[in-house]
Structure 1
């Protein structure tokens, strides 16, 4: 009995220790949750204060410098995001008229729009290029247009075409028809193993163009497609086709999904169908993409052009439509207050 008492005391002590540890852990969790809640409230209050101050600031700016409101409307009407528009207006040199301010904005946008200086970097150097992007953005037609340029430069024997599009009815047939016209063989592959074999057999070709299956940016297959191209055994340069008629949010989703370990560049498609192109230029600038070509029609190869930054920036402002007048003077400060800070633009 005397030996049992210490054992009971030990068990009681262990039980009390566990209870104390549990109480301390609960107190810590409660304190952490409370602190997290307080920090969330502080951040929310800070955001509200920043928005209100920004709204007041922009309202004051409109009254003092009405030309900035004019320029803001120009940028919004051209399709550029409110975030980029706010950044540009805030960095606008003092004392500029609306006309001079617009020229300054065009100049800065042009300096931040990365394009190919000439086609030699692609056509002369050659290599393996894969055109990627969602369904219906014009990958197959763009592949045919690029193929025609390669054939005109080096001849059909230096080019090979590959299609991975085994899903869409007639996709292989469409590219095969283009290949027959150009005198170029088209190879169909189903998976990474097929692609590795095909590229090994075509290693002596100067240029290989791959027309990939269109995949929604929200589909997990995008990751699989990127992995397939990266595991092909050779350096496959991916060119993302961006539909100029798509919304800016959609374009951002597409770029983020297809980015992978990096894109060699992009091709702007459906320029002829777009009511505005500031949306796609905004994404190209902010995502720091290299714009290779612009496609503005179905004709092969005529409707594919080397991207001209000056022309594209001018066209963006000439195409501005109803968006320029969709915000009233009272709404502009509120719109600007809701934009995020932007650091991706460098003033040259």
Structure 2
């Protein structure tokens, strides 16, 4: 076979050499990095056609499969899409030497284009070739996204400005990319930011008033990793309930038997409020406690903090879900955590569904776009925001307009971490690759309504 090798410092240079030598219809067989350079193996289209076995009159023989994409004749480099064909199993036919073709390989439908003496291709070799082709496809798609965004920067600089504002506010690259792509045509970045704020505000869900908890009552469990402020937030909610209905209508339960002083901290809060604190250690204890407290208007459960990667999270969710009394779980999200960490936390604590979330440590966060990003994409109802240690003063009903406005105001303090113009194309290329890979973070736009 007339296989040509092209080696260059970058894939773009290697592809240009390939097109110059073999034409726009060349077929790529593989690509790899060798000694810091890109090496591409390719064949001319006519060579592929020439080596395909000619079908006999009475026995249909499938065309030689092509495990690589072709280039189009236009100037842009298209996304690579491997061509896959399925083959009907042809009957065995004798060669000139009288030797029959192996049936087991024919039944697998795997052929190697090698003329009359062609040999079956090993399945693992085929997988390796396909893996290399996918790798090259992803690389080319990423580079095309980078080129596309660089052109957008030149034609529509206002979009680049809006993107920088979103990233500086802490919103994820995937959500920012989606919003900027959908941004209506405008001459001023300020108008674009107004549109972005409106979209984010419409997609951020918050409770209208405290009646969701204080008037309706019920059993609420505050869950989340260690150190997010569950116990302090539980005390703040308890104080609000006591002020509305009195101490006799409230009960406190703690499952925190691990931390030194964990129970004592909540017990001290309960003593100040005049509310009894009950300690439980497993699902059986929790069932008994909830049965005894069924006459209470509101029951607040302070759970033990567990890392989102700990298997105890599953056990905790099962314990809270396995009671006879419905328990609504409120996830405490630390506003100082990164978006990646918050995504892990939500996935771990999701279980059979969260009632909503409480945003904590807003007073410590340099940016809050990350936690708002997670709340929007995961469609979590935001009940309260906590911004300090004072009980109960530092607990506020979530106001979506205030939160979105604050997200863009806080970014002024993070100027040192803002992206430069030359860094934006690379960042957008990464976001595009994530979207093409099909990850949830890459599909951020699917969770956002523009209407």
State the TM-score, normalizing by the size of structure 2. Answer: 0.70
Higher percent of residues as helix: 1
Mark the CA change 1:318 to 1:324 in structure 2 (over 3 Å): closer, same or farther.
Answer: farther
Structure 2 counterpart of 1:127: 218
User: 1: CA distance between counterparts of 2:307 and 2:422?
Assistant: 39
User: 1: CA distance between counterparts of 2:123 and 2:136?
Assistant: 20
Mark the CA change 1:141 to 1:25 in structure 2 (over 3 Å): closer, same or farther.
Answer: farther
Structure 1 gaps of 5+ residues are: 1-19
Mapping 1:318-337, distance limit 5 Å? 318-320=409-411, 321-322=413-414, 326-337=418-429
Mark the CA change 1:96 to 1:184 in structure 2 (over 3 Å): closer, same or farther.
Answer: farther
Give deviations 1:287-339, integer Å, cap 9, x for gaps. 11111100000001000000001100111111113367542211111110110
Structure 1 counterpart of 2:238: 147
User: 2: CA distance between counterparts of 1:46 and 1:336?
Assistant: 17
User: 1: CA distance between counterparts of 2:448 and 2:256?
Assistant: 37
Q: RCO greater where, 1 or 2, for CA within 8 Å and sep 6 or more? A: 1
User: 1: CA distance between counterparts of 2:157 and 2:108?
Assistant: 58
Superposition RMSD in Å: 2.0
User: 2: CA distance between counterparts of 1:323 and 1:346?
Assistant: 30
Mapping 1:29-108, distance limit 5 Å? 32-108=123-199
User: 2: CA distance between counterparts of 1:119 and 1:334?
Assistant: 45
Q: CA deviation at 1:122?
A: 1.8
State the TM-score, normalizing by the size of structure 1. Answer: 0.90
Structure 2 gaps of 5+ residues are: 1-101, 111-119, 436-442
Is the contact made by 1:73 and 1:325 (CA closer than 8 Å) also made in structure 2?
no
User: 2: CA distance between counterparts of 1:63 and 1:175?
Assistant: 58
3-state secondary structure, aligned to 1:146: helix
Q: CA deviation at 1:24?
A: 7.9
Is the contact made by 1:76 and 1:324 (CA closer than 8 Å) also made in structure 2?
no
Is the contact made by 2:366 and 2:414 (CA closer than 8 Å) also made in structure 1?
no
> How many aligned positions are there?
329
Mark the CA change 1:324 to 1:261 in structure 2 (over 3 Å): closer, same or farther.
Answer: farther
Match of 1:111 among 202, 219, 233: 202
- Does residue 263 (structure 1) correspond to residue 354 (structure 2)? The answer is yes
Q: CA deviation at 1:238?
A: 0.4
Structure possessing the higher radius of gyration over alpha carbons: 2
User: 1: CA distance between counterparts of 2:109 and 2:147?
Assistant: 43
User: 2: CA distance between counterparts of 1:335 and 1:112?
Assistant: 24
Is the contact made by 1:296 and 1:303 (CA closer than 8 Å) also made in structure 2?
yes
Mark the CA change 1:180 to 1:325 in structure 2 (over 3 Å): closer, same or farther.
Answer: closer
Structure 1 counterpart of 2:269: 178
Mapping 1:334-345, distance limit 5 Å? 334-339=426-431, 340-341=434-435, 342=443, 343-345=446-448
Give deviations 1:41-72, integer Å, cap 9, x for gaps. 33323222221221111111111111111111
